[in-house]
Amino acid sequence: MTRTMLFLAAVLIAFSGCARVPYTERTQIMIVSESQEERIGRTLFSQIKAEADLSENAGYNSLAREVGARIASAADKPDYEWEFVVIENPAVNAFALPGGKVALNTGILPVCRDEAGMAAGMAAVMGHEVAHVIARHGAERMSQQQALQIGGAALSAALLGTSPVAREGLLQAYGLGAKVGVLLPYSRKHELEADRIGLILMARAGYNPESAIEFWERMAEKEGAAPPEFLSTHPADRKRVDELKSFLPEAMEHYREAVQRDPSLERPPRPIGIL
């Protein structure tokens, strides 16, 4: 019966509406509209900025705005109110919210840095996060969760009259099946998709996408041990780096085209000493 309810949730999504992810052309099923997700993103980002310890480092903020603006321009979503902030937080993390809101923790900046500076590493992070935004991964996750909630309610109604123990067991099985069988696999799919699109965006912005491979390898070393992939929101580190390498030829084509179109995009990275 759990499989039946999961199928019902999928059918409910199927009748809601469709969208396509840019660059990958993957079909998405959407319950949440773009205007709804933008409104949610603005509200959450305002709360985060009010509560977070925003960095006062002028170098970090200037570079984040510069790199972010170039990535956003490559994303070609001028209707979004793009905003890029740096948060004083040692956690090695960055995140994006619908509508063009992106934040980087200061904890991720040392991982961005290589012998030439941190512009290219930051472009890898920004490209990945902006990719989540233009691919509407947040709205897709919200749509999936809404559909699964509907499926859960339908299952609960179908189990009325059964013993409380059996009913509770089936509902728990449905919740676990939804998480491991639907939500987590899609989360990993979103991460790999954002990796691919992120490479393209940084390339279109004039940043050599080869530097992204080095950044994600440094990230893998930083993160250390991880849970089994099937229980994780992210792909295994080795798989991720291998997939990134497979995406690289496509991204390099965009990079060559961008630099040929506008040689000024191929700017030398800032020296380390500026930050």
Active-site positions read 129
CA 251 from chain centre, in angstroms, equals 18
CA neighbor of 95 nearest in space, from 218, 209, 87: 87
Give the whole-angstrom CA distance, residue 26 versus residue 137: 12
The CA-atom distances, in angstroms, between 111 and each of 118, 160, 176, 199, 269 are 8, 53, 35, 17, 16
What tokens were used for 125?
Answer: 């992070």
